[in-house]
Structures are given as structure tokens and as C-alpha cells.
Amino acid sequence: MTFRSIPLAVLASFFLALTHTPHCHCSPVPPISPQDFRPLLQKLADYSPDPCGPPYGRERDWHSADVENTLFEQAGNFVAQELNAVRSETMSPQDRATEAMKKLGQLSAEINANWPDEDRFHFQILDLPPALVLKITIHSHARFFVFGVPEETSGQPNRLWRRVGSDDESSEHEAPRSWIEIYPLHRGAAGNARFLAEFGYTGCAGSSGVVYDAREWNPKGFGDFEQVIKQEGAFGLGDKVPGFAQIGKFRTDGALITLPYCWFSSIDTWDNPSLCAVDTYDTSGDNLKFRSRAYNRPDLVPIAKAIEYAQRRDYPAVLGYCASGEVARRMVRDLPPSVFAGDLRVTRAGKGKETVAIGDPPSYRLDVEKFAGRWLVVAFNAD
């Protein structure tokens, strides 16, 4: 008899019995003590507090992620343990988590005393009943963890706190410096806890990246921790690029939230993203909805987008930003894999019409026109 031929109901009963057997001789997981963090904090003390600061030239100061991540993970586990501790049932969940993190902060103040205070262990707790969001920072990096109480576990009612989620960006965007800010968001009719994490990262110089990451926790059943917004972007060395002022203001209070960002494109003239946008989301309902996107230079967006997709030889995508198939085909055929404006010249050619020249020889000239409120590329020439 193959395993597949066994009825699913029988298999389910078999595995359920295994998970509830009273004769397990497994060793209990030892409790976590604040002193367990001492070796990790001592390891970090050997690094420069800022990998981009003095003393310069120490290659090892760029590679502290393993120690930091172990400390972050252990701190998250420590909070989950303390939330379920019987001795602290009279305290609120936020107070229990705060008490646990203060112990690690005091230990870091002792062991990392030679570091500036801002580089030592710090935390922030966002109380979003029935969830807690914990932000932790140390050295030059940050993480967040989310704790909740799912209604069920293994098909039975549950009263224990669990670590139900954490950030993804710290592993996806490794950099010498990273930071996180967390903000509560408006709840829908279901009342599920929502928050936004603004994750930033940068090297030792130059521009910085940003990721807006909104999450929602639903404790029903086995619980559901869902990402409801993700938008990546960048910010340059300054916000006053001539002719390319940034657009929109960061806002998370109220039903409508606005998330501004910029991004690097082929029309940039230096190490600063020229094109910027602001996205608006409606959080009033149980499902977050994208409302709109506004650009600082809508006349140049179709050029940047058409070049981006032409370099990928994606004709249908290029056509979406061009007024004709002929123009789209020429861009896909003639553009090289790399285009950088360096020099950008925009000439007004009439109402709703512009001629845009980009790059040093070989350079490119594109005409754009506004049709029914939307700009499109109407001509393309390569010099």
C-alpha cells in the first residue's frame, strides 16, 4: 500500500495523536536568562560601534550581522517567554515585554559602555491589542518582531503568546547601516491590529534605500500575519535636485496614508534619484486599498519607464508608455543595456509638448506629448 492511498482522515488522526502523546520524553527547552545575552554583547563590544566611523579600515566591523541576528532572535524569544511567565500575569503584556527588554538594555549599558549610547541596545514597543510590536536596535542595525495570541493551536483553544512575525527587509537589504520606524495604522471594521514599518538602509556614504512595509495581525483560528503594503524606493543625498523637487509628505494617521519615495532611473544626472512619487492608500476598510500615485515630473516618467522596459526588450511594456508601436519598436531595437542621462535637457515645444535630450554622445532625443491628462513618448531618435 502506498502512503498516498491511506485516507486523509486516518493520517490526520495519526499525526494528531503523535502531537498529543502523553509519553514524550523530550527534554524541556531551557528558559532564557538575561545573562545568556552577555557573550553576544561581549562579542559585539569588540567591533567599532559604527562600522562607518573611526577607527577606519577595519574590515571586520562590516560583518557583525551573524552576532546581531543571533541577539535579535534571542531577544524575540525572550520576550515571548516573559509574556507567558506565570509570575507576571498581573502585569499588562506591554509592561511584561518592557521589563524584559530593560534588562537587556541595562546589560548592554554595562558591557558596551565604551560605545555611544545611541549604538547600544535600545527598544520600542508598540501596543496594538491584541498584538505587540517590538523594535530592537543595536550597533547600526534594527529589527522588529510581532507577538500575538492565536485563538487555536493544534486544534485546541490557545492562551499563550507566540512570536507571530518579524521583518523581512533586514535579510533582503544587508547594509552597513539600517534603521526602522514603526507607526500604528487605522483599523478596519474587523478591528485587526495594523502597523507600518519604515525600513531604511544605507552604505557609509551616498544615497539611502527605503521600504514601506505594512502588516496586519488577525488572531482568528490559527492566526494570520499578513503583509498588506510593500513599496520600495530611495532617497538621495539631498531633497533639492534642481527641477526635481520631491512630492508629498509622509503621513500614517487617519484613514488615508501617504508614502513618499524616489527611485533611480535612466534620466538621473548624478548620484541622486530625480523621479519621485507619493502613493496614497485607503485604510478605512477591512482590506487596504491603493488609491493613487502622483509624480513630481509626470512628463518624464514615460521616458524613464520606456527606457527601462526597452532595455529588457519587453515590447508590450514599452508600448504602454508610447503613442505608437513604431516608436516602441525603435526603442526596443536601438537602446543599449545601460543608459545614464548625465546631461538632461528639456525644451518646451508647445502646450503639452516637450523635447527631451539625454546623455552625452551617443545621446538620445525623445518627444513627449500629453494626451487626455497622460504623457506619452511620441518620437525617439538616437544620435
Q: What residue ranges of the chain are covered by domains with CATH 3.10.450?
A: 301-382
How far, in Å, CA of 219 to CA of 221, rounded? 6
Residue 368: band (very low, low, confident or very high) from pLDDT cuts 50, 70, 90: very high
Does this model's pTM top 0.85?
yes
Q: Which of 214, 259, 191, 201 is nearest to 65 (CA)?
A: 201
Q: Which amino acid is at 67?
A: V
- Cα 368 → chain centroid: 34
Amino acid 297 reads R
- Strand pairing partners for 257? 281
Q: Which residue has the higher pLDDT, 240 or 231?
A: 231
> Residue 76 contacts by C-beta under 8 Å, 6 or more apart in sequence?
134, 136, 143, 145, 163, 166
Q: Which residue has the cell 537602446?
A: 335
Instruction: Region of 308 please: left (phi>0), alpha (psi -120 to 50) or beta.
Output: alpha
CATH number of 301-382: 3.10.450
User: 212: which strand partners?
Assistant: 198, 231
pLDDT recorded at residue 239: 65
What would the pLDDT profile of 118-168 be if each residue is shown by its tens digit? 999 999 999 999 999 999 999 989 999 999 999 998 889 999 999 999 998
Tell me, what's the pLDDT at 5?
Answer: 35
Q: What is the pLDDT of residues 15-64, one digit of tens each?
A: 333 333 334 444 456 799 999 999 999 999 988 888 887 655 566 666 78
Task: Name the β-bridge partners of 123.
Answer: 136
- Average pLDDT for residues 343-366, to the nearest whole number? 90
For the cut 80, the answer to whether the pLDDT of residue 286 exceeds it is yes
Across residues 236-255, what is the average pLDDT?
A: 87
Q: Which amino acid is at 2?
A: T
What is the residue-averaged pLDDT of the chain?
88
Cα dist from 382 to 53, 66, 330, 364, whole Å: 45, 49, 10, 5
CA separation for the pair 20, 161 (Å, rounded): 20
Alpha helices in the chain (DSSP H): 8-19, 38-45, 65-83, 93-111, 169-172, 301-311, 315-319, 325-334
Nearest CA-CA partner of 169 in 127, 125, 208: 208
Query: Distance of CA 383 to CAs 309, 348, 360, 364, 368, Å?
Result: 20, 20, 10, 6, 18
